[in-house]
Amino acid sequence: MLCMVGVVGLGGCRQWQPAPGASPGEDLYRKNCVTCHGVNGGGADGPSLIAREHSPDEVAAKVKSGGSGMRSFDGELSAEEIRQVSEYAASLSRPPK
């Protein structure tokens, strides 16, 4: 079992629970990326995702292969999950419409 930011309760570590109403990409981001990139992509232990605009393809390549301190999620996330989380993470760097 893995403790992630925001899922530690009074009883200790518990299994990941999706945020109500979260898209699959947002849920994957919160489960796998929040610890390093922050809830809103502003950075934490890892770099900010909002410092410059990222395309979903750029993010997907990084999620799949890792590098520069980021681990690879290839084999851990499916191609569809990588697409979903990459689209969500890329959306964090774009100004709201």
Give the CATH number for residue 45.
Answer: 1.10.760.10
Q: Which segment of 5-9, 75-79, 81-85 scores lowest on mean pLDDT?
A: 5-9
- The chain-wide mean pLDDT, for the chain, equals 82
Is residue 46 one of the residues assigned to a domain? yes
Q: Which amino acid is at 84?
A: Q
Q: How many separate domains does the chain show?
A: 1
Is residue 36 one of the residues assigned to a domain? yes
* pLDDT band at residue 19 using 50, 70 and 90 as cut-offs: low
The boundaries of the domain holding residue 60 are 25-91
Q: Are strands 12-13 and 8-9 parallel, antiparallel or unpaired?
A: antiparallel
Is residue 30 one of the residues assigned to a domain? yes
Average pLDDT over residues 68-87: 95
Question: Which structure tokens are listed for 91?
Answer: 């959306």
Query: Which helix (H) or strand (E) segment is 32 a member of?
Result: helix 24-32
* pLDDT band at residue 62 using 50, 70 and 90 as cut-offs: very high
Alpha carbons within 13 A on the beta-carbon side of 47:
12
Give pLDDT tens digits for 30-60: 999 999 999 899 999 999 998 888 889 999 9
Do you know the residue count of the chain? 97
